[in-house]
Amino acid sequence: MGRVIRAGSRDSALAVAQSMILLNEMKLKNPDIKFELVTMKTTGDKILDRNLYDIGGKGLFVKELDRALLDGRVDIVIHSLKDLPLETDVHLPLIGFSKRADPRDVIIYKKALDSSHGFKGCIGTSSRRRAVQLARLYPGAVFKGIRGNVQTRLRKLEAKDYDAAVFAMAGLLRLGIKNSASRIFSTDEVIPAAGQGILAVQGRKGDDYSFAECIKCSNSFYAATAERSFIRALEGSCSSPVASYAEVSSDEIKIKGLYFSEETGRYVTGFKTGNKKDAEKIGEELALALKRNF
């Protein structure tokens, strides 16, 4: 029998679709290895009636997967990078990053709406990052929390008191429903979450992961390093309305960031460029520069 690699994933349709994208890439490069997908429901998937920051943060989406990896029940885990906590277990390193899918946020209206005179409905989002930025684009709107995977939120949009809801374009693309988007926001209008659109592969320290060499996009690595460094420098969490997005071109990296002041109720944005090899330092320096503006 050949080698078998078991990949852990959340059990939502999007998580499965994302995992299969990477597993299929690895299968093509490693035809002698059998890849199996092992799905599981995380605590974050089970508790949908409260905000993440009230019940433990993004770690609730990875706790069960981390345990399965440490226990040897799976050999790798595939995550949406934006769902990973900033600090990961040293025994469970990130071993690969996918090419980035469309990083932008989108809004889906419940029905065709003419927003030319100002949209003043109820927008569903549990992300403060999204809400503080959208408040400028939709000054007459109200915001209401909405939790769950993409399909769950789409059902809630139709069945409950929402007029619109916000999603990541990458998720809609991977589910084949990109045409559902009513409006796509530029990364200047709504700066994405750190890591949005990037898939990360996590493994166990010391194991052989040569089969995952094909999942090592250097541009995604540098962008993710800068973005996560920015959030970390601001002590950001899922409750913090902070955002960062980096683009890499040749040896240069440019990062945009958003810092929100709880004291003033305002936010400031800015950008910084530099050599991609200094990605971590550049992200941190931008964060501290924005923080000094308050």
Task: Specify the length of the chain in residues.
Answer: 294
Give the CA radius of gyration of the chain.
19
The H or E element spanning position 66 is helix 63-71
CA distance 139 to 124: 15
DSSP 41: -
**83 catalytic residue (yes or no):** yes
Q: Which of 200, 197, 52, 182 is nearest to 125 (CA)?
A: 52
User: In a 10 Å sphere around its CB, with 0-12 CB exposed, 13-18 middle and 19+ buried, how is residue 185 labelled?
Assistant: buried
Classified as helix, coil or strand, 274 is strand
User: What residue type is assigned to position 227 of the chain?
Assistant: E
**Strand ranges of the sheet holding 243-249, from the earlier edge strand across to the other edge:** 243-249, 252-261, 266-275
CB-based contacts of 278, cutoff 8 Å, min separation 6: 253
What separation in angstroms does the CA of 260 have from each of 62, 74, 119, 243?
Answer: 26, 39, 24, 9
Count of beta carbons in the 10 Å neighbourhood of residue 46: 9
Single out the catalytic residue among 45, 83, 105, 163.
83
For the chain, the straight-line distance linking the first and the last C-alpha, in angstroms and rounded, comes to 62
CB atoms within 10 A of CB 172: 22
CA–CA dist 228, 231 (Å, integer): 5
In this structure, the number of other CB atoms found within 10 A of the CB of residue 136 comes to 10
Catalytic residues, by residue number, are: 83
